[in-house]
Structure 1
Amino acid sequence: MADIVSPLPGIFYRKPGPDKDPYAQEGDQIEAGQTVGVVEIMKQFSEIRSEVSGVLESFAVEDAGTVNPGEVIATVRES
């Protein structure tokens, strides 16, 4: 298992916009470098990407939830 952690504090969003589809969902096969969400701080959005390929097992943060640096956002089961 590999954890995707937040590099900065802010609000985590799973979708690029309110009427858009999520970047990735639990159970999805994802690739290394794939965006799984964004963290917003003061209207600046930073993409959060997986460093490994595998299955997105779970999110540890709700959509629009607050994150801190080093906090786990999601877990990937490497394949």
Structure 2
Amino acid sequence: MPEHLIPAPLPGTFYRRPAPDAAPYVAEGSPVEADTVIACIEVMKQFNEMTAGHGGQLMAFLVEDGEAVEIGQPVARVLT
């Protein structure tokens, strides 16, 4: 099965959940569609949703919740 790395579309702070007290958008091992929201990136108090970009199974997140990311940095792996 092909593996795809999902890159951060912009620099900022990576969050796996929409709010501190909310459940994560998606858990590792879960099936995803190309348009499934998997995380958000905060830039100057604006939260930008990130989608998987590929359908398949989200295998792993490559960054921690609340970690700073750079544009193009791989943040998750999807098996298609």
Task: Identify the TM-score tier after normalising by the shorter chain.
Answer: over 0.9
C-alpha distance in 2 between matches for 1:30 and 1:11: 22
Matches within 5 A, 1:33-72: 33-72=35-74
AA aligned to 1:69 is I
* Alpha-carbon RMSD: 0.6
TM-score under structure 2 length normalisation: 0.94
C-alpha distance in 1 between matches for 2:55 and 2:10: 22
Q: Number of paired residues?
A: 78
Misfit runs of 4+, over 2 Å = none
Alignment correspondent of 1:21: 23
Partner-residue secondary structure (3-state), 1:16: coil
C-alpha distance in 1 between matches for 2:27 and 2:68: 19
Unaligned runs of 5+ in 1: none
AA aligned to 2:8 is S
Unaligned runs of 5+ in 2: none
Q: What is the aligned-residue identity percentage?
A: 42
